[in-house]
Structures are given as structure tokens and as C-alpha cells.
Structure 1
Amino acid sequence: MATINFYLDKPDKKGQAPVYLRINCNGSQIKLSTGQKIAPVQFDKKKQIAIGPKMEAIEFNHYLNFLRERADELLHNSNKRTFTQEEIKETLNQHIETYKGHNSIQIVKEQISLYGKPFAFVDLFAGAGGFSEGFLQAEVNNKYFDFIAASDINENCELTHIVRYNHQLGLEASFLKQDITEPDFLDNLLEKIGDRKIDVVCGGPPCQSFSLAGKRKKFDKKDDLFSHYLEVIKLLQPKYFVMENVKGILTKENGKIKDLIIQEINSIVDIKEIPALVLFIKKVKVKHDSFLFESIVKRVEMEKLRDGDLELSREGYIKFVDNRFKQITPKIADYKTSKTDSRINTIRHGFNILARTKEWQKLKRDIIKEKDQCNIDSDAYVDTFNSFLTKISPDNVIVEIETAFKSLKVPNEFKNDCEDIISALKIYISTFDETVDLLSSLCSESEKNELSKILESIRLYKIEKPFVVNASNYGVPQNRERVLFIGCRKDQRFISDIPPTVSEKEKVSVFEAIYDLDFIGNNEEAHHYELVDISKQYNGTAKKMKNLLKKRSASGEQNSKSGKSFADWSKEGRLIKRYQPQTKPFYVKSLQGLEKGEKYFDILNNHKTSNQNKDVIKRLQIILNNGDYRTAQSELEKCGLASNKRHYNVLNPEAQSSTIMTIPDDYIHYNSPRALTVREMARLQSFDDSFVFQGKRSTGGNNRKTEVPQFTLVGNAVPPLLARAVATEILKNIK
């Protein structure tokens, strides 16, 4: 058993004594300089801690404790049982040198334009930062991307962003930790962006947020996130925007959701062209002299407004329609009826509700948050909550107003007036496209032709249809199919596909991606790389396994002359020179730990296996031997090891993995009866090893609703190499 402690050497002229790490084992002694100095009066030799000023002492003691942990791990918990003194010194010196690199950190240092043309991007629903990472890897003809801001609602997303982009890469990229549905989100995002013009917005609103207007019966925190994403697009009007989602979005509700998304994107207008459309509507209105045309004008003019001005405009619109109702009320009902009839009151009070839409929307958000907080779902309460939230929605209020109108006995000469009021209310909740469709129906053939020409110039974004991409076509060792919607501003070149960067034969295999990490067993954690000898591990199949290793360029395509293996690229990093790390990768447990300087500078991060009991290991071994969970079922039952778990994915070393999700126990390593580590899952997602996932490693139960631990960060991310391919295609086309 080795003993590990620290001692001070003789103080220098400034009174600072060098601190040394000392290891005694079997009569031998190893001494290593920690690279730190301290005044002897500030060091408690007995407790082996610094006792100086609070902040400095905390960080100093954290560093000493870190070195003690790594030395203890190496000597007492390593797979290797014997070490030479030189091997111990070399490994520990790597940790010490990594920490020394931290001394030159300049947090949030100013970005200096070294070369080329930068295009600014913003990452929404950013999660770990897969889109951001891929965009920072892209470069075409000296064009590249500047990272301006990201947003998500979770603290661990924020922590991972701050460590990676502000501390490690030294960028100024801001992070907004806020729900995109909150009223002041856009203002806060603009504050983060400052005076920068945003060229590209990327992000993937969760698929739960897509539903048909007026058809939604389930209200949760993910409701309507897509429309709020589009509000950001309308505000920033970037040259391109990219929206990523699961493949199922194409067939959700028989494809109606996909059509709705396209319709909403096509409804984003160029506000500079609004006056021309308004002028046209007013010209047509002269011929018809219709209240309905005035309603259309007011609705169209809303497209150029936002926030407070938009709210005032909406309120003014409802008052405008309400005044029309007040004018005809004496003509359709006598005085007594107008004051007491429930149908008239339904119409009148409906206008009151619509005029206070902002207040009702705030109430809706608060109720949904409380509903989610109390886990109200699949119980006796859920229908009551959902019924109320449905009742207060503007579209439902308008349905009630329409029903009340229809049940009134309105004289024939005023029926058109009542129908116009109902139509005006429907215009209020219509998309821009629905509004112009109504306008077109009221026009003559010649007017329709004129309108079509105006609409060609007023639509801000070009998009025909979404398209499916498979991450494995872009150098990612994973069959992960995703749908991309790419909106191209009308002054930019159209993008309708992302060309593959690797051929079918060039695709990266699982073995190629993670073979060099296969030196870890059950319930173990590694903080540095160890040599993996393929010849010894695979014996008779070593030649076949070695043939799986290919030389590649950073983006994945094979390059036998100057390429590197996928594993080597992962270790070296794929970022362009402009964004090379300014300090070594490090891990912190929380934002509080970051503030205190409690950083763990390891050579290898996030490489820890789960602590699985003997029965689980036996179960995994049987499944691994059979090569498939279903095939193994009968043997598992015979051995009394059957599980209620729905599925296990046995990795095939010679192929790509299935879609990486957020639960590590869903996967079995191809060579060992164990689950994957965060680092192995990150490799299968194409994250570089220098990208450290922060905070808790995993979570369970109800905590999954609010926490985003490392495994979730990895599983939910856009693969960086896929994002890199998207960014590259944009750089090829952007003006």
C-alpha cells in the first residue's frame, strides 16, 4: 500500500515555497513538483491544506485533492497492477501539466478576427451544443461562423456551454437560460445579441410542441414551442434558419403537422413589402366598401409589429370588431334582450376575453407550469385542467361567439353583418397565408393576378419541403435519421439538401469510433488514456478488426495520404484553427463549483462505467453471446435472468450504432457485458474528447422531467459532424 502526501521545499526570495507530491511505496519514493508555490505560514502540514484567503485556498486545496485522487486511483484502483517509477511520473505529470495550462486562462476573452469572413449564428434549444460545435468546425473559402448566443432552459446546459465556449475556447458567446415562451424572452435574447446582425439561426423545438391549431387537448410545457421559435425568426430575419426534428414529424397526424410547419414558415413576411400589400387591399376595398377588407388591412399590418406594439394592435383590432357589433346590436335585439340574453352576453363577454389575450396567455402559462409541477397527467384532474385551458383559448372563444350568433334570430338584412363579424374574428387568429387566401377569394381574376405578384415578393423565406438526413452519411458512426427544415431568405441561394460527406463504403464503424476506449471494466472510471492492443484483445480476428480502422479527414471522408483515424480526430479535435482551445478541458460538478474554482483537469473525461450487479452482468453476457436480445430471451428465462426491460441494443463493431438515446443501459458494448460510458456515447455522436459534459452523470424518476445530466445532454444532441455538414453547405451558398 502506497502513502501519498505533500511537502514544501525551501522558500524562494519572495517567501514562496514550492509544493511537492510525495509517494512512498515498498521502500521506494517518488517526488513530483505540483507546479504550485505557497507561503509556509499558509500551509497546514498536518491537515495538508492551505489556510490562506478563502478563494485562493479553496482552489489550491481542490488542486491538491485532485492530484491525491489521481495518484490514489493510479496506484490502488488501476487495471494495471505494477508500474515503474517512470510510468507513474509520466501519468501524474500529464495531469500536472494539464493544470498548469489553466494558469493562462482568459475567460470570455475578446474574439479577434484572424482571417476570412465571419457569419454570425444563434443556437436555440441548444442542449449540449451539437449544432454550435458543428458550426464552429465549418469553413469554406475563408468563410466561417461566429458564435453569438445560445439558449435553453436547463442549468446544466448553461454550465456545459459556459465551460466549453467561454472558458475553454475563450469566446464571448452568451447563454440565455430562459423558457422561450416567457413574455420577455425576445427582449432578453436581443440584449444578449447586442448590435450583431444574425445570419443563421439553428435549433430543434421538441416534437411534442407540434400540433394542429385548435386541435390540441394536451397542455404541457412543450406546447407551442415551434411558434415561439418562429417568432425569433420573424424578429431576427436571418439569411438561413435550420430546424431539426425526429423523422416521425413527417407522418404525425397523417402529415398535417408537416404541412402546417411549411405553411407557418411561408407565412413569415418581409415587413418592408407590407405597405405594397396594404395599398393593394385598400384599392380593392374601395370597390367593395367592406368592413371585412378593413379587418384584413389591420391583420396584415400586425405582421410588422412585435411585443408591446403588437399587443396594442391586437387589442385595437378586437375593439374595432366590438364597435361593429355594438352598432348592429340594436338592430338584431331589443334593449331588454341586449342586456339580459345569455347569447348576447356570450358575444359581448367574448370580446372582453379576446381583448385581454395577453393576460389570459400569462395565466395559461402559469397553470401549465403548476400542472407540470404537480405531475397532473393520466388522473382525475387532467380533464378539468385541460378543459379550462381549452375554454380560454382565443379560437374556442370565437367558436362560442359564432355559436351564440347562429342561435340568435337575426333579421335577414343584418345576417351578412353578423357573418362579417365572425369572419373578422377568424381573421384575428388566422395565419398570414390564411388571411391572404381569404383576400384572394374576395378578388376578381385580374386582382388575383396582381395579388400573386405582390405575394411573390412579400414571402421572406423559400422552403418547398423538409428532407430526411442520416447522420451516418456525414461521418457519424450512428444510423440516426433526422428531418431538417432549412428556410432560405429570398435574397439567398436555395438549399434543398445536404450532400453526404462519406459514401456507403466509407461510413465510420462503431469499432473505429470507440475501440481505443475499451480498457475499462464494470464500475470503473478512467481519467487518462491507456494503450489498447488489438492483437492481444482480438487474437484470431485482430487482422479483421484492424482493417476497420481508416484514415480520414476531419469531416469523415477517407484520406489515405494525410488523414487520421476517427479516434485520433476525437482526441486531437476537429475545430478550425480560429477556435482551438485556449485551456485544457476540465470538468466541474455545478455552477457553484465553477465559481469556487473546483475544476478537474483530466486527460480523459466522462469515461465512467455503471455499477452493475452480478445478475445484470450475466444477463448482458448472455445477450452479447446471442448477439440479440430477442434471440437471448429463452436462455435468459432458463437462467432466471429475464428482464422487464423492453429492449437492449447490442453494438455491432463492424457497423454503425442505432440511434443513441439518453439511457446508457439500453446499449451493450460489443466486447464487454456492460453499458456505455458518456464518452463512448459522445464518440458515437461525433463529439470531440475535448468537449466535456458537465454536472451530474445520470438521473432517474421524476428528476428526468427537470434535470439534464450528461447522458441526456449526449443523447438529445445534434451530432456535430451532421451540424458541420449543414454549416458547410450554408457557407457554400450564403451571400
Structure 2
Amino acid sequence: MDNPAISQQPTFIDLFSGCGGLSLGLSSAGWKGLFAIERATDAFETFRANFLAKGVRHPFQWPAWLEQCAHSIDDVLERHDDELKELRGKVDLIAGGPPCQGFSFAGKRKSSDPRNKMFQRYVTFVDIIRPKFLILENVPGMNVAHTKQGTKTAKAGITYYDKLREALSALDYSVGEMILDASNFGVPQRRARLVVVGIHADLAKAMPTGCTGVFNEILQEGANQLSVYGGGALVSAEQAISDLVVGGDRGRTVEYTGFGARRGYVQLEYKGPSLPMYQRLMNQGVAPEQMDSMRIAHHKEDVEARFKKILSSCKRGVNLSHEDRRRLGMLKHRTVPMAPSLPAPTLTTLPDDILHYCEPRILTVRECARLQSFPDWFVFQGKYTTGGDRRKVECPRYTQVGNAVPPLLARAIGIGVIKSFHSAEGKVKSAIGKKRVIKKAAVMAGN
């Protein structure tokens, strides 16, 4: 990397992009997307609708050599090696959130899960392109060692993060990590994530505080966002979605006629946001009829009755206790009734993991999107849910939202890196200026 200078609008590539949460956050922070790689067709169609369609708010500068469709990272590496090599040293940032199911404590942690190896593809991409900065987001479990007996703390064994750091260090990247909770960035959801930042050695020389300085900028922007979206306090579930409450006997509903419409499905007849600033900012510029993914689940009577019992008798904001599950005859291992005054619990890909705070139902996709900090103009494509073996190949709307990086968290990360960019650039220019002055003085002294 001969020239560490920073472009006026820094560029990024999004690997394992999903529906585009990380891309949205980076774009709103001032970055310019080049292209994204996502293998799930449904998720990529959502990405296309929001970043590649005519008239979108944050259009990508997509290269002609890469077809605008779902790709696996292996296919891109194999088929476009020459084109990728042409980008070497010309891209400011590679970002990505490799599949996290193999690391997650919410599911079965398996050291043999092939998805655990995806970070190696990330490293291969970095090796070819050599961007100035790296961002990688994953669950905290990536920094916990996998063993045949289960898991150990990071001190007790080599973790996938340790392997990642060693691989990136070998490519001349200074690497640092921090666990960030999205709720501290204005996101109305408790969602802890391991965020990894890498700085190429040529640029790191101008940054005496290195990755620590980047994270300081990220945390400062998080505080700024919390001030804007929550008045300095954490944004609660009620503040985020109270305008989407249906009401008794579903009196505020109309027939649902969107994708996957079937008899009996309804959606909220939306009238607009309420007083909380978070709602107004998420809904800014969106007409009521433009609200997307508002279909309300059609629960059976016995399921709705059980949900009513949970809301009336179980502790809010935490998973049902063993005693509660036994009393209610439930085998499901995770069911969390939301607390209205607290941020929502961590969203997953399973819509029935979380219950609405005041209505006996699961959340709509739009409510989940609000809790992830997707603005209301962001549209989702594909099925709402899927099941059985289809879960291995399909990525429905609930899954897209549950897998996404919260855009507000991504925005703070993007702004933190940009500020570090400009700080480093200023120091590089200053150092070059001083060298020129010294050289000129030496020449004059020689005369």
C-alpha cells in the first residue's frame, strides 16, 4: 500500500452482507458501497431493493464485472480473481459479518460447523485487496474456545478470534476488538456483539492510539446517537414500537394484501408515529401507506390464550423460568415477554422467541426491524417465515432482520473509523510537510 491517503468519500465492500444492515449503517455514515456478497437469494433481493434499485437513497457503485445477484464468497473468489486483484490497495474498507450460528450461545455450538470457517474466506479477501481498514462483526461466542466437551473461556484455549487476529497480523494489520451492546448506540435492543477493527500497517504508523483510538471514536458517536434517539437514555421497546400497537379486538387493522397474503391475515392501519423521538426519526419521510412488512401473525386460539397467561403472570424482559414453562406446559427453551420500559431482548431468527409487551402475539417483521433500528423506508423481500429443511436454504424476512447488524450500531462504527481516517491523514500530511521543510533547510544549508 504505497499511498495511505484517504478518498473524499471512502469506499467499502460488504462481505456476508445479508439484507444490508451493515451496509445501511456505513452508507449513512458517509461511506460509498462498491459491492456486497450474499449467498441467500431472499436476503440479496432485499439488499437489491434498498441499494441497487432505481432511486434508492444509498446507491452502490457496483462494478460491471460482477453480476447483481446472490453469490457465495467462494464463487466470487474463484471466478473473479483477476478483477479482485485489480482492486488491490484501491478500497478503503472491507466490512463483514460472517455467519455466526456456529459461535452463538443461542444455538448448538459446534466446532465442526462449516459456517465457522467463513472468517477464513474473509481473510482471503483481505489478502487479495489489502484495504486500509477492516471491520468484522460477530457474536461474542467467536472469542470463546470451542472444545469437544463444550466451550471454555478465551483464556483456556485458542478461539476463532485468536485465529483471525493471527491471520490478519500476518497480513500486516493491527487488530483490536471490543464487545459493544447495541442499546448503547440508540438501538432499542440489548444486543452484545464482538466488533473487530483492523488497520493496515502503513496507516497505523500515523495513528499512535491505533485501534483503541478507533473504538474511542465509536463509543463517542454511540453517546451522540443515544442523545439524539433517546435523550441520553436507553431507548425502550415501548418508545420504539408503541405506534404499531394494534389494540383490543384488532380494531385498528385492515386486510393484509401484500406478499404472502392469505385469508385471515390483517395488518395495522397505520396513522403515523407517536411522540417518542425514536419513532419519528425511524418514520421520517415515510407515508402511512408505504409501511412495509406489517402482517400480523394469525395465532390459534390456544396459542393466544397461552400468550395472555405469559403476559399476565411471568416476569418481563427475561426468558421464562423452568417453573413457568412447566406450569404452562411449554417445551420451547426460549420465550421472552418484552418489558415495555426496557430495551427489547436480543432478536433472533425465530419470531416466536419474543412476545409483544402488551399484546398476546409475536412481533411483526416491521416491529422487529424497528427494534433493530431499520428505518421505516427500508423494505423487505421474500417469505415471512419458513421451516424444516427449507431453513437451510431459505432466508425469510424474520431471519433477515434477526441476522442483521443494527444499522445504528453500524453507523457509529462507520463514523468512528472515518474520524480516525481523517485524523491519520492529517498526521501523514503533517509528517510529510515536516520532512519537506527539513530537506529544504538542509539544501539551503549546503548552499
Q: Report the TM range for the smaller structure's normalisation.
A: 0.7 to 0.9
What SS does the corresponding residue of 2:120 show, helix, strand or coil? helix
Distance in 1 (alpha carbons) for counterparts of 2:265 and 2:193: 34
Name the aligned partner's letter for residue 9 of structure 2: P
- Aligned equivalent of 1:264, options 167, 186, 206: 167
Q: CA deviation at 1:193?
A: 8.8
Check if 1:530 corresponds to 2:271.
Answer: yes
Q: Give 1:623 shift.
A: 0.4
Is 2:357 the counterpart of 1:670? Answer: yes
Greater radius of gyration (CA) = 1
Question: What is the CA-CA distance between 1:202 and the residue it aligns to?
Answer: 0.6
Alignment equivalent of 1:519, drawn from 246, 250, 259: 246
Matched residue, 2:278: 566
Amino-acid identity (%): 31
Distance (whole Å) between structure 2 residues aligned to residue 635 and residue 232 of structure 1: 46
Unpaired segments of 5 or more residues in structure 2? 1-6, 63-67, 104-109, 147-151, 254-263, 426-447
Q: Establish whether residue 684 from structure 1 lines up as the match of residue 396 from structure 2.
A: no
The answer for the alignment partner of 1:79 in structure 2 is none
Greater displacement, 173-182 / 614-623: 173-182
Instruction: Give yes or no for contact 2:32–2:60 (8 Å, CA) kept in 1.
Output: no
Q: CA deviation at 1:219?
A: 5.3
| 1:703 maps onto 2:419 in alignment | no
How big is the shift at 1:137?
1.2
Whether contact under 8 Å (1:528, 1:603) holds in the other structure is: no
The aligned runs of 1:247-286 (5 Å cut-off) are 247-253=140-146, 254=152, 255=154, 256-257=158-159, 258-268=161-171
Change (3 A) 1:699 1:621: same
In the alignment, which residue of structure 2 is the partner of 1:611? 298
Structure 1 unaligned blocks of 5 or more:
1-115, 139-143, 211-216, 269-459, 535-548, 551-564, 574-583, 586-600
Kindly provide the amino acid, as one letter, of the partner of residue 187 in structure 1.
H
**In the TM superposition, what whole-angstrom CA distance separates every residue of 1:368-427 from its partner, at most 9, and x where no partner exists?**
xxxxxxxxxxxxxxxxxxxxxxxxxxxxxxxxxxxxxxxxxxxxxxxxxxxxxxxxxxxx
Higher share of residues assigned helix: 1
Cα 1:153–1:263 change in 2 (3 A) is same
Do the aligned residues in 1 keep the contact of 2:244 with 2:268 (CA within 8 Å)? no
Deviations 1:289-323 (A, max 9, x none): xxxxxxxxxxxxxxxxxxxxxxxxxxxxxxxxxxx
Aligned: 1:495 with 2:211? yes
Q: C-alpha distance in 1, partners of 2:83/2:117?
A: 21
- In structure 2, the residue matched to 1:479 is 190
Q: 1:508 aligns with which of 220, 235, 246?
A: 235
Deviations 1:547-582 (A, max 9, x none): xx65xxxxxxxxxxxxxx111111116xxxxxxxxx
C-alpha change, 1:228 and 1:186, in structure 2 (3 Å) is farther
Task: Report the TM-score when normalising by structure 1.
Answer: 0.46
Of 123, 136, 141, 2:14 maps to: 123
2:94 alignment partner, one of 185, 197, 201: 201
Q: CA deviation at 1:711?
A: 0.2
Q: 3-state SS of the aligned residue for 1:567?
A: helix
Q: Name 1:470's counterpart in structure 2.
A: 181
Give the conservation status (yes or no) of the 8 Å contact 1:527–1:604. no
Q: CA offsets, 1:577-599, max 9 Å, x none?
A: xxxxxxx89xxxxxxxxxxxxxx
**Corresponding residue for residue 180 of structure 1:** 73
Calculate the aligned-residue CA RMSD, in Å: 3.1
AA matched with 1:694: Q
Q: Distance in 1 between matches of 2:36 and 2:301?
A: 43
| Distance of 1:189 and 1:479 partners within structure 2 | 42
Partner of 2:4: none
TM-score under structure 2 length normalisation: 0.73
Q: Kindly tell me: are residues 669 and 118 of structure 1, through their superposed partners in 2, closer, same or farther at Cα, counting changes over 3 Å?
A: same
Following the alignment from structure 1 to structure 2, what is the Cα–Cα distance between the partners of residues 193 and 674?
52
SS where residue 117 of structure 1 aligns?
coil
Deviation at 1:237, TM superposition (A): 0.9
C-alpha change, 1:627 and 1:188, in structure 2 (3 Å) is farther
- Structure 1 segment 590-601 matched on structure 2, within 5 A: none
Identify the range of structure 1 (494-503 vs 694-703) with the bigger mean alpha-carbon deviation: 494-503
**2:440 match:** none
* Paired letter, 1:264: A
CA distance in 2, matches of 1:607, 1:189: 44
Question: Is 1:242 equivalent to 2:140 in the alignment?
Answer: no
Distance 2:389 2:142 in 1: 26
Q: How many pairs does the alignment contain? A: 361
2:381 matched residue in structure 1: 694
> Superposed, which structure 2 residues align to 1:101-120 within 5 Å?
117-120=8-11
Deviation at 1:665, TM superposition (A): 1.0
CA gap of 1:470–1:218, structure 2 versus 1, over 3 A, is closer
Q: 1:260 to 1:634 in 2, by over 3 A?
A: closer
